[in-house]
Structure 1
Amino acid sequence: MNAAPQLDAIGARIDALRNGRGESIAALSNEARASGELLAALPPRYGEVLLNLLDRLESSALFSGESCSFSQKDLLDNLQVWVDKARAQLES
């Protein structure tokens, strides 16, 4: 799988999580962390930011609702921004 389909898969998992379609944070994180071709096609900073967001999202999953200092909704919103910027980077 090359970079664009990997990015599409991450975006689809984010969308499913945001819309409550039975997706898990672990599945999103595993998919994103395994997207080697995508991360190799982007500047190194993109990987750093993605891993930071995933770490915080995984931490938020350990708590119920929004009781954690990391809001899952905000983190998913930030991941979507990351996907949008990564897509623009790949297309440039």
Structure 2
Amino acid sequence: MNTMQATQQLQQLRSGFEQLALQQMSPAALGQQARAATALLQALPDRYAQVLLNLLDRLESSALFTEESCSFSQKDLLDNLTLWGEKAQAQLDRPAA
């Protein structure tokens, strides 16, 4: 496991979350970036990948609708992605067992 590469991919992904919030990145582009972060997803427990991909699927679906007409809020999804990034960072920062 390459922790340095995983940490770099997490930083890029968290930057992507910020760019999405500023409407400088599309949900589809963020989804592609996240799915390509294989070192990160392999470095984290399986449930992290499951949660991330679920949030991204909902975010990409919500992008098909205008603002809050979808059954879930883009802002709430973005908040959850930000929280996911914080927890993923804490997981990577944990000393190896």
Q: Which secondary structure state, in structure 2, belongs to the residue aligned with residue 80 of structure 1?
A: helix
TM-score by length of 2: 0.90
Provide the identity percentage.
59
Q: Distance in 2 between matches of 1:77 and 1:19?
A: 13
Instruction: Name the count of aligned residue pairs.
Output: 91
Q: Which residue in 2 is equivalent to 1:52?
A: 54
In structure 2, list runs of 5 or more residues that go unmatched: none
Structure number with greater Rg is 2
Q: Which residue in 2 is equivalent to 1:13?
A: 16
Q: Distance in 1 between matches of 2:29 and 2:7?
A: 18
Provide, for residues 5-51 of structure 1, a one-character-per-residue CA deviation record: whole Å limited to 9, x for no partner.
1101110011111123x211111110001110000000000011011
Instruction: Give the alignment's Cα RMSD to 1 decimal.
Output: 1.1
Q: Which residue in 2 is equivalent to 1:66?
A: 68
In structure 1, list runs of 5 or more residues that go unmatched: none
Q: Which residue in 2 is equivalent to 1:42?
A: 44
